[in-house]
Amino acid sequence: MTDAFFPLGGTRPRTSVAVVGGGAVGGMLAGAMAKAGHDVSLCVRSPFDELVVMAGPLEERIPVRIVADACYARPVRWVLFAVKAFHTLGAKEWLTALCDEDTTVVVLQNGIDGAERVRRMVPYATVVPALVYIQAERESPGRVRLNYNNGIEIPADREAERVLALFDGSGVEVRPRRDLTTAAWLKLMLNVATNSLTTLTLRPMEVFEEERIRELALGLMRETAAVGVAEGARLTEEDVQRTLESTSVFATGGTSMLHDRLADRPLEYETLNGAVVALAERHGIDVPLNRAMTALLGALRPLPVAKTAPPKASVLP
């Protein structure tokens, strides 16, 4: 990789790493692990010839092993699990093949319960939840572009030092958090509004400059915060307002769900708005706006081919 977006590798001993998922996040992480000096396999559903990572005018071919059939996989020390939440069950064969009692799985998905889903599949492995802050897009199979931001957040627990060591020299900033529950709900609060509203309007983040859209986003965020508090997150109205204001920073970009919509890929609204609805029912909290978003997103049909060219900048994962 090029120093401009993946600094020179660190001193961590070479270890075996499998990245499951060949999308934007998976491709970026495979490149990061290769730069850190690890032995990297990129596990994908559909094979492609090579992995290319781009940042600005730079373009680099990444020396990773691309594997498209789990029957060729063997247990590794580390698995970076970066498939969309709705593909988790379909990726079970990869987890089964790649994991044993010495494997650590870092789960890098949107939503709030990805680590638990993976833990049920491979109870003998060590599972670490992570929040992803990597603004990247997949331009075509095997070609991913980093726009900006390149970090993850993990629990500040006994596994944190090991994860920090794994990512040493990768160019990915790893930030341990003492309260990952609250951090996860803060991210979900942003995603339930930005992903749903950009996808339904087919507009990038500039749509949040409109007052009525901001009012709708505020309502979605307040509902989400109420459910998050019931689930143990420490959220306040100040957090809601700060999250809404943060949308102005991303005015020129899109969201991952908008890109999926434009490319006619499945949408992970059940992991975002749908999760808020499901948990709200458990706590007896009314979330009419998130219910409406879930219903509308579920009713979407494919776009005409002429509208499937995504905006150039992807902003929010």
Catalytic (active-site) positions: 187
Distance of alpha carbon 207 from the chain centroid:
22
Residue ranges of the alpha helices (H) in the chain? 24-35, 92-98, 114-121, 160-166, 180-201, 211-230, 237-246, 256-262, 273-283, 288-298
Q: Locate 226 and state its tokens.
A: 């109420």
> 26 and 82 in contact (C-beta within 8 Å)?
yes
Q: How far are the Cα atoms of 48, 64, 126, 151, 192 from residue 167, in angstroms, in the given order?
A: 25, 16, 17, 10, 29
Which tokens in the block code for residue 241?
A: 């307002």
| Torsion sign, CA atoms 204, 208, 210, 212 | positive
To the nearest 10 degrees (0 to 180), the angle between helices 288-298 and 180-201 is 50
Place of tokens 């996989």: 73
Look at strands 51-55 and 58-62 and give their pairing. Answer: antiparallel
Instruction: Give the Cβ contact number of residue 55 at 10 Å.
Output: 22
- Residue 32, CA distances (Å) to 40, 52, 125 in order: 10, 12, 23
Residue carrying structure tokens 């990444």 = 62
